[in-house]
Amino acid sequence: MNNTKVIEQIREKSEKILSGKQDRSFTEFSLRDLDFEQGISLRGIPVRGQAAAKILGTLRVKKNFTDIGHKMSPEDWSAVSYKLKQAEGEVKLHGAITGEGETREISWAYDTNENKKRSDDQVNYENYFNWLTNSLGESEKEYSLKDFHFNDKEDKFTLTLLEQDTELDVFNTGLDMWKGGQRFTFSGLYFNYAPFFERLVCSNGNTARQYGFGTDISKQKYNNQKIEQAIRKAIVDRNGDIPVMLNQAVTHLKSNNASLAEFYAYKNFFESRNENGRYDSLIGKYFDEKPFYQAYGLDIKAKSHKWKTTANSGINAYDFFNHLTWLASHPDMVKMDHEDRLKLQIQASNLLFKQELDLEDVATPVKVEYKRMETMF
């Protein structure tokens, strides 16, 4: 068996995490079903932790909203909660119930959608790991485990497998080599699959990870059998189109520059996560705006998004893509949260597989001598 080692790693890591997790059952509910008399509850089951925060966020009220009830008369508080539920009462969520008897509580809440997974078709985490390890045991391809991560805040696993028996030479120069693989992200009510690419940087022996296009089968109704089939197809059946698509995407970026709008989209990625200035140093060092101000002689920040999409950054799009993936793959040099690294890698792949870059198919500025007609006077 080619994948004995990676199967053992997945089983060991998953058992370690699952042993500390409670079993979950799921229920769908509308916000009008909630009771705010004593904290938040649903049909007598207390709503706590992430689920309570999710509900209050959906209702667009402050985190301490339920504390206000202690400062109001029961009648006034009942009127406030009633009006709030009337305004947002039709919004539906999925709730994850943990514990038994008196310890039962709804600890997680997820957005619901008619096109997403139904609460009566839930998947146990053990199912996911069994489908993954069974497929690895069947596959003739050899894999290694690049990443195994559990996001406790979102109750979500991310598992990334790298193919060891393939190397892609995108420019046929022997200098820009890539490996392929698979990334799976899943929770009790969500599943997503996307090809994974790792670029081998020959000059210094480092690697830069990036993720490809995603296949989110939760966008349509599906069942356990379809999930198992999707996992098996990804791991066992080699997709011959992926090397071609990767080559086309890389060549596409190499032939174009990034716009200022594309540059600022990734600068804003860090600014939006810059709580307490934790990314100040990173932004200042790796997203220098001075060359733009010097070249254009304008207040760039005051310009519209449309203007920025037409403004050339002077940075080759492939170089910029490599810049982003370098940031996401060097934790020893760039201090970033693990989840932010993962999201940046995925965001960078949005650039890699972008169908049309901002500066493509843009007319070259020319002076047109158009004779004025009588109707123009």
Low-confidence ranges of the chain (pLDDT < 70): 1, 22-23, 69, 89, 112-123, 170-175, 201-223, 238-242
To which residue do tokens 């509580």 refer? Answer: 105
To which residue do tokens 């919004």 refer? Answer: 91
Q: Token digits for 42? A: 């649903």
CB atoms within 10 A of CB 30: 15
Q: Are 142 and 163 within 8 A, CB to CB? A: yes
Q: Token digits for 29? A: 């509910």
DSSP β-ladder status, 45-46 and 257-259 = unpaired
Say which residues have a Cβ less than 8 Å from residue 252's Cβ, sequence separation at least 6: 317, 357
pLDDT value at position 69?
67
Burial class (CB in 10 A: 0-12, 13-18, 19+), 104: middle
191-232 pLDDT, tens digit each? 888 877 777 764 444 555 665 655 555 545 556 778 888 888
167-177 pLDDT, tens digit each? 777 666 666 77
Q: Are 123 and 25 within 8 A, CB to CB? A: no
For the entire predicted model, the pTM comes to 0.66
Compute the mean pLDDT over every residue in the chain, rounded to the nearest whole number: 82
Query: Angle 285-290-292 (CA atoms, 0-180°, nearest 5)?
Result: 125
pLDDT value at position 210?
62
To which residue do tokens 């559990």 refer? Answer: 150
Q: Are 199 and 345 within 8 A, CB to CB? A: no
pLDDT value at position 215?
57
Burial class (CB in 10 A: 0-12, 13-18, 19+), 81: buried
Query: Angle 221-194-176 (CA atoms, 0-180°, nearest 5)?
Result: 165
Q: Where are the domains of the chain?
A: 25-121, 125-244, 255-352
Residue 119 CA to residue 187 CA, distance in Å, equals 12
pLDDT value at position 107?
83
pLDDT value at position 204?
45
Phi first, then psi: what are they for 371, rounded to 5°? -70, 130
